[in-house]
Amino acid sequence: MEHVQQVEPFDYVIFGATGDLTMRKLLPALYNRLRMGQIPDDARIIGTARTDIDREGYVARAREALERFIPDDVRSPVLVDRFLKLVHYVTLDGTKADSDWGVLSTVLSDAPADRIRVYYFATAPQLYGSICENLHSQGLVTPHSRVVLEKPIGTDMATATAINDGVGQYFPENQIYRIDHYLGKETVQNVLALRFANPIMNAIWSGEQIESVQITAAETVGVEGRASYYDTSGAMRDMIQNHLLQVLCLVAMEAPDSLEADTVRNAKLAVLNALRPITDDTVAAETVRGQYTAGVVGGQSVPGYLEELGQPSNTETYAAIRAWVDTPRWKGVPFYIRTAKRSARKVSEIVIRFRSAPTTLFGSAPPENVLVIRVQPNEGIELHLNVKNPALDAYTLRTADLDTTIRMEGGLPFPDSYERLLLDAVRGNPILFIRRDEVEAAWRWAEPVLNAWSENKVPMQTYSAGSYGPETSAEMLAERGDKWHEDME
Ligand SMILES: NC(=O)C1=CN([C@@H]2O[C@H](COP(=O)(O)OP(=O)(O)OC[C@H]3O[C@@H](n4cnc5c(N)ncnc54)[C@H](OP(=O)(O)O)[C@@H]3O)[C@@H](O)[C@H]2O)C=CC1
Ligand SMILES: O=C1O[C@H](COP(=O)(O)O)[C@@H](O)[C@H](O)[C@H]1O
């Protein structure tokens, strides 16, 4: 059974309440937390969007979303009805001062003045600044208010600065929660436990013992219904600048002095600031980008990216980067990070390859030890060790795996990462949210790569849907005798 504590009563005001993210992720996550007993019955979820519907109409949409996105075995009619009693809707154009803010103000003023209020922005990020301005001028920003910002925070440094400035004018940094759902994943959070709660790991966690690090987030899906967003984004902006760099930070950071949010964020920031800049001179050697062509994924024929889009595009659906963290701990250790749409399989993982044993005792050098942190699916940790091959009389080696699957008690699936993060915003716990300087440091590193790619300084490769990506990606690793995980024996 999950150990849960009910949070204080709150008002969750969602801007963008009719959109895909709200229906697919936010409402189901809140339902699940109610189901687990964490949400009090006097909490309120107040959806807002321009669509002119009344509460009944919105509740009907929310019900449909729960029927679609909550599996039958955890959806009970009684709980759904209880959840929907918390749901309200206000028709509002968040960007317009003369929109009907009075209705939202009236609804909010029904609650005590010191009630926790979370404004969740599930709209296009360009709208965040003007929504904040209106919240402020309507007197709706209280000391107990916080704002959750969905990604992407900009498409480059300039746009990120504009968004952060726009929000920062009305909310102090400690009331701003920039969400990165990878930080809500259980096994990502486990990186800190693995590293710092286990002296045996801590002792070997540096370039003295580690040869290379791989961080992969590959998906079998294409761009689904989000082609218009994705084509302005691409793999680097969609996944690397945020999710994968955050994971890299957790793998590479120095031990924080405490689990206080800013202490951990300072440690992550130090890693981002230590990332070696990729320049016009190094970008072709250190990066690979590609687009999928038609292929077969999971036994199904799928079209290529350009066919799906119906127009030419210079947007990458695959990116692999050899990054370097210039700190004494990581001297000489490449961090390979990659992400792909329409990959052979869905997998997010961290793979640590250790240096080979300096021994000739067993003839040739034994294979390297490899530690795999499986973020998803089948969350767990495996360590490949060399053991004596019991099938042979001669003293030869074979690989044995120590493999632990991390499960919830009772074998329940892990809660979706949004469940943890949505309630952390209510609790006022920002540890799994990104601070402004982290976003900026990530853009500082990513932007030169994006500029070089847009100037075609790195050729756009192709890869068949259902493959592991362009061949040049494997070649980049082979230069240093490395292999992607799927190519390791
Ligand atoms: N969908 C996903 O899986 C993910 C989405 N995100 C981010 O979440 C945000 C929302 O994405 P998504 O749900 O896909 O987008 P959608 O286009 O599906 O939804 C956008 C929402 O914003 C509302 N909206 C648009 N303009 C205004 C306005 N002026 N005032 C108030 N509401 C407005 C729309 O409703 P209406 O037209 O009725 O006003 C709609 O509810 C984006 O920042 C996206 O990048 C991040 C990660 C994953
Ligand atoms: O933020 C995003 O993440 C998803 C992948 O998330 P995961 O939890 O399924 O690994 C990705 O599909 C989407 O394009 C991106 O915006």
* pLDDT tens readout for residues 423-461: 999 999 999 999 999 999 999 999 999 999 999 999 999
Q: What residues form the annotated binding site?
A: 50, 151, 181, 185, 219, 238, 341, 346
Beta strand pairing call for 318-324 and 287-293: antiparallel
Structure tokens at 106: 């009236």
Cα–Cα dist 292/303, whole Å: 9
Q: What's the CA-to-centroid distance between 171 and ligand 2, angstroms?
A: 27
Bridge partners (DSSP) of residue 352 are: 213, 371
Bridge partners (DSSP) of residue 350 are: 215, 373
**Block residue for tokens 């008690």:** 409
Cα–Cα dist 218/394, whole Å: 41
Q: What residues form the annotated binding site for substrate?
A: 181, 185, 219, 238, 341, 346
Q: Which of 99, 123, 132, 237 most suits a substitution to test ligand 1, by most atoms within 8 Å of the C-beta?
A: 123
Structure tokens at 23: 């229906």
Q: Using an 8 Å Cβ cutoff, are 4 and 423 in contact? A: no
| pLDDT above 60 (res 280) | yes
| pLDDT above 90 (res 406) | no
Cα–Cα dist 272/437, whole Å: 10
Q: Quote the pLDDT of residue 137.
A: 96
Q: What percent of the chain has pLDDT over 70?
A: 99
CA-closest residue to ligand 1 atom 28 = 93
pLDDT in tens, 56-108: 999 999 999 999 999 999 999 999 999 999 999 999 999 999 999 999 999 99
Q: What residues form the annotated binding site for NADP(+)?
A: 50, 151
Q: Quote the pLDDT of residue 195.
A: 96
Ligand that lies nearest to the alpha carbon of residue 237, given by its number in the listed order: 2
DSSP-derived 3-state class of residue 481: coil
Pocket of ligand 2 (CB under 6 A): 217, 219, 238, 348
Contacts of 239 (CB under 8 A, 6+ apart): 217, 319, 339
| pLDDT above 60 (res 1) | no
Averaged pLDDT, 190-214: 96
Instruction: Look over the chain and give the mean of its residue pLDDT values, rounded to a whole number.
Output: 95
Question: Between the CA of residue 13 and those of 29, 43, 46, 431, what are the distances in Å?
Answer: 15, 11, 5, 22
Nearest residue to 342 via CA among 295, 392, 381, 395: 295
Cα–Cα dist 162/144, whole Å: 25
Of 77-86, 198-207, 364-373, the one with minimum mean pLDDT is 364-373
**Block residue for tokens 């240093």:** 480
CA-closest residue to ligand 2 atom 4 = 239
| Max Cα distance, the chain (Å) | 84
Nearest residue to 215 via CA among 371, 87, 344, 410: 371
Is the C-alpha dihedral spanning 181, 182, 186, 191 positive or negative? negative
pLDDT in tens, 4-17: 789 999 999 999 99
Instruction: Please list the active-site residues.
Output: 243
Q: Quote the pLDDT of residue 359.
A: 81
CA-closest residue to ligand 2 atom 13 = 238
In this structure, the number of other CB atoms found within 10 A of the CB of residue 35 comes to: 17
Nearest residue to 15 via CA among 113, 159, 130: 130
Q: Quote the pLDDT of residue 3.
A: 64
SS3 content of the chain, % helix, strand, coil (to 5): 40, 25, 35
93 pocket-lining for ligand 1 (C-beta < 6 Å): yes
Q: Using an 8 Å Cβ cutoff, are 191 and 160 in contact? A: no
Cα–Cα dist 378/231, whole Å: 31
| pLDDT above 60 (res 211) | yes
- The separation between the first and the last C-alpha atoms of the chain, rounded to the nearest angstrom, is 38
Nearest residue to 342 via CA among 244, 224, 238, 459: 224
Backbone angles phi, psi at 233, to 5 degrees: -115, -75
